[in-house]
Structure 1
Amino acid sequence: MKNENPDPITRRQLLGKITVPALSLAGLSAISTYAVANEYPPKTQAASHLPPTAFPVYNVRDYGAKGDGTTNDSAALQAAIDACHQQNGGIVLVPAGDFMIGTVQLRSFVTLHLAPKARLLGSTLKSDYKAGEGIPPGNGNMVLLFAANAERISVEGQGAIDGSGAAFNNGRGDGTGPGGTPGNMDRPHLLILYKCKHVLVRDAFLTNSAYHCFRILHCSNVQIHGVRIHNRVNRNNDGFHFNDSSYVHISNCDIACQDDACALFGSNQFVTVTNCTFSTRWSIFRFGGGKSQNITVTNCVIMESYGCPVKISTGRGQLENFIFSNIIMRNVTGPIGIGFSGTSRNNNNNNTPASEPSFVRNIQFSNIQATVVTRPVDHPEIPFVVKPFPGEDNSCITLNAMNDVYLENIRFSDIHISYAGGGTAAQAAKREIPAVASEYFGVWGTEPYGPPAYGLYARNVKGLTIQNVRFEFQQKDLRPAVVMDNVQDAYISGLQVMADKEGESVLRLIDCKEIFLSAARLLNPAKVFLQLEGKNCEAITLQGGELRKAEKQIAFTRGADKKAITG
């Protein structure tokens, strides 16, 4: 065959022949200018033995790092990072080995690259750590790796960052949960970024933090891809923890942790999470107050997760435009809880001024398959028992606003949830629900424990859509499938539900208005399908459906009147 390229040239010769303007047009001006003007690799101690590369490389061993797992290599790693930063950026290489470190600062334009057999190993001595310079206290600011007011930082490679967090386990958490007394924050997080721009983290394995694994605070343009987190050696072992950050994109990550897997507190906006797996004791997606808006979660698998996989709990805040779609939940409790009180709560990251309106609205859940267990189960690798809160048993979807505030425009479509069941007659009889909206289990933490419905409980909701939803249970449950209290403007179509023939009713509507219910299907025999309660029930429409297994389709009690039924 004739040679199509009889005079091949090397890459270095090609770069020497092409002018800088031409390379600029190709989007390569930064790399090519350096390549034309300088020998590759640069004649420095840091890179003298490395093959040609587009960026200068600073090997931490060239700065004195031993990588033997016992020598403190903090100073060597910091020197390599500082040199890279001072030379306008490049790659800091952590080669194979165990590099034991304390607190180290990342800097602008530096890529920290972890070779596949490299491990940054956190020291077990508290004296080797300090607060990150410029990091506000918050949930503590003691840290292994940090950056503040930096830009274009990357952490990459298939190596590991191990915080040796078991050495800091004193049996106490930080006390920031319901009813706790804050404390024990003097222990290192694995990674904190504060007011950083254009951050990239990919491929690395992050594990064994003494506190939160990953704190992203007031950052913008954050990309996290292909990261693995296993964080179950201490209390408050969060996975990702975001505060007031924007343009955040997470994909193809595997997260197993002890506390919140992906907490978003404060004003987080323009966030996407896709193609990830999660498992935790407490919750997966945890939202607090502030202005959390424009967030999507899709194509995710949630396994063995308790404390409610999707937990939205706020006093004051402006939370809107959330979409959760294409999600599998296997062996969870919750599985969805939204609580809204409209009043300030000091412990819930509220930063919405009292002069601004407070709302939770426009939240959609679609294409979700879930199995819900009776109560939380300990994960075998967590070295301590996490006692369930009262009210975590026999959980359901909870939409809970109270007093004079409402959740608005909440939509469920194409949902199939199989519950363990086990609800009692005492739970089903509950009518006066505590005026609590802090945590989904907090609502039910009074005797008798557990919600009065096995599928969905909704209070103070305007604009509720339930379309093609199926609720069923595995063992006897005397509670209604759905309880609605002061719900207005609801469209319910294609609801399929199980019931216990000894239960009072399948659906219970208390003081509800403008409810359109069509094409419902009762899956097994029951006494009453729809029970209306309260004198404020009005404009209730029941149309079509397969309800022959109900002895009675509609019943009226506690002041409800037949005039409430229209159509």
Structure 2
Amino acid sequence: MNSSYITKEASEDLLKKLVIVRNISTFICNFVFALYSHTKQIIKLIINLYRMNFLLAIVVSILSYGAVPNDTTVNNAKAINTAISDCADKGGGVVEVPNGTFTTGSVFLRSGVTLRLNEGAVLLGSSRLSDYSSLVTDLDLSRYESGQGTVNYNSATDPQWSKAMIFAVGCVGAGIEGAGCIDGGDVRNPLGEEHMRGPHTVLMAGCRDVKMCDFKVRRSANYAFLAYRLDRSAFSNLTIEGGWDGIHIRGSKDVRIEKCQIHTGDDAIAGGYWEKMKISRCVLNSSCNCIRMIMPSTDLEIADCNIYGPGQYEHITSHRTRSEHAINLEPGAWGKAPGRMDRIFIRRNKVESVLSPLCVTLGEDNTCGTIVVENLTARDVTRMALSVKSWGMAPTDKVTLKHCDLEFDGIDDPGLPAWFVDRPTSEWPVFPCWGMFFRNVGEVDVRDVTLRVKGGEYRKAYMCQNVGKENLAKGVRLADQK
């Protein structure tokens, strides 16, 4: 039999298949042509659907629930909370605070609800401590306690420490926005931390997809923002003035702090146990530390920030305005905080008039992987060298510095180098060098780093102790003294 022979039945079957393929091809071509021809209409339809969804969203004013403006004798918490609950029960939306000053005690955000502070709106913290609630949560937050045995001890279970003006507990998709202001009222609590600190302005616990943007916080009675276990959230374009810490987060994943102006008496940004935290394009000013990490973190990026001192607002406890470290990474400094710090990236930051540009100190329960510092510019560093170290044996694997220009104020004391001979580190008021100090580091890789000093100085520019591999002599350029 001829192998090329095709039966009539096979021929008809092949023809049917070809027709099907032709029809499918024609359909696809027509569909693509129609899609291309109606692109504008499709885009318009999507926009209209978005607008319809926006128009259908619940928007309510606190005035509709009995809020009274410009009367400090009225606690508007009930009216505001009723508005929030009503909005949440209807599927979420926006609760507006209109122009005017509204005194309030504790307010409780709900999932899906945004508190909008219109221009000219002020939420003012009540002067009566009895108007504030304490945190109530089933979360175990004991990991985040700090300051045990000191006047600075704080715990989420402490009803005095955990008082707040605005709470978000277990919220998803909540937030605060707008051109208005939250005024903490600088309320003092003799039973609070240091026998004076009052309620936090905003306290969050176990929340995700939270957005805080565009408004101002001033005169916080304790922290402007305190958050425990905060995920996939953002702080954007905020202004914080005065108070203690600005944004303090203990336990987080995928959080952004961007384009914020933070001027505080205590640490501007603080906390720890962060995963994938990004701090970028912020202006940070503090009478303490501008960024302070007290619990180990991973995948931390600090980029494009302007960090400067002295503080515009005094440290309320000590009354100083001198700025401490621009970036202070010290896990374990305020109590046990075991764990590994790794993948720390510090890029394109400008620092001026601070104690030191970068201070990294590991506790004995900690280890560190890599730290990368790039394009750091520092001027008028008042006393301390840039440092990465541990005072015990806790190791850091590798530190890389590239394209940095650092200027320090000298200490004009010819006897200072001899003072350090046989002196224990616990007695050091400064480092035995003026520019960079490394201790217990596996490798220090330095490329294109300029160090300069203003005034008299007799110490070495840099020093390494128990460092496995380093290239400082090759990678550091010492500029002429001014």
TM-score after normalising by structure 1 = 0.67
The answer to whether the 8 Å contact 2:224/2:247 transfers is: yes
> Paired residue for 1:508?
none
* RMSD between aligned residues: 2.5
Pick from 490, 497, 500 the counterpart of residue 478 of structure 2: 497
Mapping 1:216-227, distance limit 5 Å = 216-227=227-238
The answer to whether the 8 Å contact 2:356/2:381 transfers is: no
Amino acid at match of 2:63: R
1:151 Cα deviation from its structure 2 partner: 0.5
> Paired residue for 2:376?
368
Secondary structure of the structure 1 residue equivalent to 2:88: helix
The answer to whether the 8 Å contact 1:81/1:92 transfers is: yes
> Paired residue for 2:35?
none
> Paired residue for 1:238?
245
Mapping 1:315-330, distance limit 5 Å = 315=332, 316-330=338-352
1:312 Cα deviation from its structure 2 partner: 1.0
CA distance in 1, matches of 2:164, 2:421: 48
Amino acid at match of 1:107: R
> Paired residue for 2:80?
77
CA distance in 2, matches of 1:307, 1:278: 12
Amino acid at match of 1:324: I
CA distance in 1, matches of 2:374, 2:126: 45
Q: 1:318 to 1:113 in 2, by over 3 A?
A: same
> Paired residue for 1:89?
92
Amino acid at match of 2:390: A
Pick from 445, 449, 453 the counterpart of residue 469 of structure 1: 449
1:80 Cα deviation from its structure 2 partner: 0.5
Q: 1:28 to 1:185 in 2, by over 3 A?
A: farther
> Paired residue for 1:406?
395
Pick from 184, 190, 193 the counterpart of residue 163 of structure 1: 184
Pick from 263, 268, 287 the counterpart of residue 270 of structure 2: 263
1:125 Cα deviation from its structure 2 partner: 1.1
How high is the sequence identity, in percent, across the aligned residues?
A: 24
> Paired residue for 1:427?
416
CA distance in 2, matches of 1:90, 1:367: 43
Amino acid at match of 1:83: D
Larger radius of gyration: 2
CA distance in 2, matches of 1:96, 1:299: 34
CA distance in 1, matches of 2:475, 2:135: 54
Determine which structure has greater relative contact order: mean sequence separation of CA pairs < 8 Å that are 6+ residues apart, divided by chain length: 2
Amino acid at match of 2:212: V
Secondary structure of the structure 1 residue equivalent to 2:210: strand
**425-434 or 191-200, larger mean C-alpha shift:** 425-434
Amino acid at match of 1:294: D
Q: 1:124 to 1:66 in 2, by over 3 A?
A: same
Q: Structure 2: where are the runs of 5+ without partners? A: 1-41, 142-154, 311-322, 333-337
Answer yes or no: is 1:314 the counterpart of 2:335: no
Answer yes or no: is 1:339 the counterpart of 2:347: no
The one-character-per-residue Cα deviations of 1:171-215 (angstroms, maximum 9, x if unpaired) are: x983xxxxxxxx537620000110001001110101111101101
1:146 Cα deviation from its structure 2 partner: 0.6
Mapping 1:7-406, distance limit 5 Å = 26=46, 32=52, 53-70=55-72, 71-134=74-137, 137-138=155-156, 140-165=161-186, 167-168=187-188, 174=193, 183-184=194-195, 187-232=198-243, 237-265=244-272, 267-290=273-296, 292-304=297-309, 306-315=323-332, 316-343=338-365, 358-374=366-382, 394-406=383-395
The one-character-per-residue Cα deviations of 1:15-61 (angstroms, maximum 9, x if unpaired) are: xxxxxxx89993876874x69xxxxxxxxxxxxxxxxx342211000
1:278 Cα deviation from its structure 2 partner: 0.4
CA distance in 2, matches of 1:185, 1:133: 22
Q: 1:424 to 1:407 in 2, by over 3 A?
A: farther
- Give 4+ residue runs of structure 1 displaced > 6 Å after superposition: 22-25, 27-31
1:142 Cα deviation from its structure 2 partner: 0.3
Amino acid at match of 2:399: I
Q: 1:228 to 1:250 in 2, by over 3 A?
A: same
CA distance in 1, matches of 2:198, 2:170: 23
The answer to whether the 8 Å contact 1:132/1:142 transfers is: yes
The answer to whether the 8 Å contact 2:188/2:197 transfers is: no
1:407 Cα deviation from its structure 2 partner: 1.6
